[in-house]
Amino acid sequence: MNKQKIQSFGRFLSGMVMPNIGAFIAWGFITALFIATGWFPNEKLATLVGPMLTYLLPLLIAYEGGKMVGGQRGAVIGAIATLGVIVGTEYTMFMGAMLMGPFAGWVIKRFDKAVDGKIKPGFEMLVNNFSVGILGMLLAILGYYVIGPFMGGVLSVLNAGVAFLVNHSILPLVSIFVEPAKVLFLNNAINHGIFTPLGAEQVAATGKSIFYMIETNPGPGLGVLLAYWFFSKDQAVKDSAPGAIIIHFFGGIHEIYFPYVLMHPSLLLATIGGSMSALLYYTIFDMGLAGPPSPGSIIAYLAMAPKNNIFGVIIGVAIATAVSFAIAMPIVKHAGTSKMSLDEAKADDASRHAASKSAVEVKPIASADVRKIDFACDAGMGSSAMGASVLKNKLKEAGRDDIKVVHSSVSEIPNDVQLIVCHQDLKERAKKSAPGIRIVTISNFMSAPEYDALANELKK
């Protein structure tokens, strides 16, 4: 239960940032290209960097946070209120936006509930518009005098802590917490909920940030996958590793290597070691990225690298890969017969889930009545899009190309689907999001036997 609550809270934080990642990337490109130390210095275009950082990005976050809580009206009042927070402090208010946006959405939602059914006919638009205007004004004033200065104090403490970690070269220790959290599907929450805002603060001061390089480095996962490819005694795992490497390293979908680590949890030592080694190198040589590499692909990594850091960034990824591979190699090589194979692990997991009881009765549905399937992942972008594509091809081979396969966040599953497919660690969240709908869980996005089993079940 605690794990689910942490995932849900982390998903809420990252949910405010992830829909706006394109804006962060645009800002990162402008920074990397046009500031004085960029690829193509341009004094006039460089003036875009400050306003985007100070106003555009925090307001987009606040808009999304308000919308998540209070719908469209919550989005508007969230942006209004957050402007007071922005102006009320000298710091970039990403965290202030993540606080004020949802709070303002909650305020307008409570107001709408209080006046529901009490507004005289013909006055609805008047009340709706003036309520957002007046409450938005009051919240902006609160933000200016209270929330802004308070968050400024919090950020000053955080910045001092960050400076201490960086100056004493102990930032690599965060890998001890980050890498285990990633395989529990907290990667998006950590990256976009914590490191992206912190990274933006650092970019504002120095033009680059090491925080963009912590969770997103593809090297640790690559080292583990390479170890499986060369040394696994399970032929099915060995054969699936090359495809996983391409998707992970070039596609940036890190979730693809999580099941490989979970098969032998001691492989966390490899990912932690690889991440720590790269971070130590990046800290010593003052490396950083100009924007968040999303997804965590080597292509995105290099695209966000400042001109004078690009070769250092490549070296850091290589170090992470080499260290992770060196630690993973003996673990994979000598664990072959003493651990369950990947198929056995999947079968065991499937049996455990089948044995568990759900508090909500699952509606039975005939195969012929299935018209829409949703593939859900944490963010609704990377791994779910890939899984939906794989499942769509399987269904097409089974003669069921009439079934529409969509992908979404596990927190925003469409209400018109008949089946849900998701990773086993996300099952409880999917049940809460779409009670009563049958859920098929998988443990490996690329080669899950559940794909074939589901396709055969739905076959014409």
* Measured distance CA(424)–CA(172) in Å, rounded: 30
Residues 365, 418 contacting (CB under 8 angstroms): yes
Single-letter amino acid code for the residue at 414: P
Does residue 422 have an active-site annotation?
no
Segment (H or E) for 13: helix 2-17
According to DSSP, the residues that pair with 420 across neighbouring strands are 374, 439
Residues 388, 407 contacting (CB under 8 angstroms): yes
Q: Which of 414, 415, 413 is nearest to 426 (CA)?
A: 413
Backbone torsions φ then ψ of 422, nearest 5 degrees: -155, 170
Check residue 420 and give left, alpha or beta (phi > 0: left; psi -120 to 50: alpha).
beta
Q: How far is CA 348 from the centre of its chain?
A: 28
Segment (H or E) for 404: strand 404-409
In sequence order, what DSSP letters do the residues of 165-190 get, joined into one string? HHHTT-GGGGHHHHHHHIIIIIHHHH
Segment (H or E) for 408: strand 404-409
* Measured distance CA(305)–CA(288) in Å, rounded: 7
Q: Where are the alpha helices (DSSP H) in 232-373?
A: 235-249, 258-263, 268-284, 298-303, 310-334, 342-355
Q: Which of 98, 241, 270, 243 is nearest to 182 (CA)?
A: 270
* Measured distance CA(266)–CA(197) in Å, rounded: 31
* Measured distance CA(438)–CA(445) in Å, rounded: 19
Residues 458, 370 contacting (CB under 8 angstroms): yes
Contacts of 31 (CB under 8 A, 6+ apart): 38, 49, 203, 207, 290, 291
Catalytic residue among 13, 61, 304, 377: 377
The owner of tokens 């443990």 is 443
Single-letter amino acid code for the residue at 92: T
The helix/strand/coil state of 38 is coil
Q: Which residues are catalytic?
A: 377
